[in-house]
Amino acid sequence: MSKVHNFSAGPCILPQEVMQQASEALINFNDLNLSLIEISHRSKDFVAVMEEAIDLVKELLEVPEGYSVLFLQGGASLGFYMSAINLMKAGGSGAYVNTGSWSTKAIKEAKKLGGVQVLGSSEDKNFTYIPKGYTVPSEVDFLHLTSNNTIYGTQFKAFPESPVPVICDMSSDIFSRKVNVADFGMIYAGAQKNMGPAGTTVYIVKDELLGHTGRDIPSMLDLAIHRGKDSMFNTPPVFAVYVSMLTLRWLKGQGGVGAIEQQNQAKADLLYSEVDRNPLFKGTAAIEDRSNMNATFVLTNEDLAETFNQLVASANISGIKGHRSVGGFRASMYNALPLDSVQVLVDVMKHLEQQFG
């Protein structure tokens, strides 16, 4: 069969060699003659997987001393509540920047715990830009940001100065570009974009921030407990951690985050250049805030939608339908998506112009 160009927003494309290795480990892991998923999570073979996954996160993101890396469950959706309950003091509050659906959900969960100040919101323009120009107050317990917005195609290109610890949901752009972890009190991210399959969530947390809320936190939501048990407080999602480890190994083999950032920039430049050049297309996000992960665009003539969709399908391009709340198209260009897949999409856009432009 011919190759599928997978622009899915997530779960999304992962490296082919990772799929192959994972497929083999399901039959015979580490020459144990047992499947990866039928051995104890406390066996030395799986403990080594967990340790390597954690070490790779630390190495690839240059995580400084004094931070812990945890592989947990629940996705960023549980992270909305979990991040807040671990850093918001009883009777305290958090500041939020509302850049779309995910931020809105994070705000909703935090309000169950205490006060929320929304410092900026781009809801007035359907979240097509990143709010700027606010001042972060010093009396809140933290500032919460969503680094990349999969649905609207926006991304923080620089993070605001903050007198309080910054919590960042990096679900859809972690490992896609260099970040200075020391600028953050907590980073959390569902695996299913650039790290691995759905089913595990990574937390990178500054140790000294934990344990000061005065709350009786449910054990499974308490990052201090998970840290004390090296992410093995309960049975971890073995397969998702393993495939994340393989994906991070692959990323290291690609030259690490700096190298993949350059590739991601090249892919984004290629696609956005065409969106801007081709009179049949128009980007939907503010140019300075455009996401390098998720490019959102529409046809300038909606009557061409069916034709474009047919061309896209004929080219074996998958997953570029826009989210229902934005419409149009969304091309997600995560780490494992090759540049030539973007070229195929650009060629289809040019072809449409040649026929109907």
Where does this chain bind a second copy (CB under 8 A)?
A: 1-4, 6, 8-14, 19-20, 22-24, 26-27, 32-35, 37-41, 73-78, 80-81, 105, 108-109, 112, 190, 192, 197-200, 216, 218-221, 233-240, 243, 318-319
The residue among 73 and 343 lying less far from a second copy, judged by its C-beta, is 73
Strands 154-155 and 148-149: antiparallel
Locate tokens 């999409």: which residue? 345
The residue among 6 and 292 lying less far from a second copy, judged by its C-beta, is 6
- Are the C-beta atoms of 285 and 318 separated by less than 8 Å? no
3-state helix, strand, coil in the chain (%, to 5): 40, 15, 45
Catalytic residue among 141, 169, 173, 289: 169
Residues in CB range of 138: below 8 A, 6 or more apart: 163, 164
| Angle between helix 238-253 and 44-60 (nearest 10) | 40
- Are the C-beta atoms of 163 and 136 separated by less than 8 Å? yes
112 burial via Cβ count (<10 Å: 0-12, 13-18, 19+): exposed
Q: Which residues pair with 297 in a beta bridge?
A: 283, 329
Least separation, in Å, of the C-beta of 218 and a second copy? Answer: 4
Query: For the chain, how many residues are written?
Result: 357
Q: Is 169 a catalytic residue?
A: yes
The residue among 65 and 216 lying less far from a second copy, judged by its C-beta, is 216
Q: Does the CA dihedral 193-194-199-202 come out positive or negative?
A: negative
Backbone angles phi, psi at 71, to 5 degrees: -110, 110
Least separation, in Å, of the C-beta of 35 and a second copy? Answer: 5
Catalytic residue among 141, 173, 193, 250: 193
Least separation, in Å, of the C-beta of 316 and a second copy? Answer: 8
Least separation, in Å, of the C-beta of 230 and a second copy? Answer: 15
Least separation, in Å, of the C-beta of 7 and a second copy? Answer: 11
The residue among 134 and 233 lying less far from a second copy, judged by its C-beta, is 233
The residue among 206 and 249 lying less far from a second copy, judged by its C-beta, is 249
The residue among 58 and 321 lying less far from a second copy, judged by its C-beta, is 321
User: Rounded to the nearest 10 degrees, how much is the dihedral formed by the CA atoms of 189, 190, 196, 200?
Assistant: 110
The residue among 108 and 282 lying less far from a second copy, judged by its C-beta, is 108
CA-atom Rg of the chain in angstroms: 21
Locate tokens 């569902």: which residue? 190
Q: Is 58 a catalytic residue?
A: no
Residue type, 162: S
End-to-end CA gap in the chain: 32
User: Cα–Cα distance between 131 and 103 in angstroms, integer?
Assistant: 12
Least separation, in Å, of the C-beta of 12 and a second copy? Answer: 6
- Are the C-beta atoms of 122 and 286 separated by less than 8 Å? no
Q: Is 250 a catalytic residue?
A: no
User: Cα–Cα distance between 286 and 210 in angstroms, integer?
Assistant: 37
Least separation, in Å, of the C-beta of 19 and a second copy? Answer: 5
User: Cα–Cα distance between 104 and 162 in angstroms, integer?
Assistant: 20
The residues assigned a catalytic role are 102, 169, 193
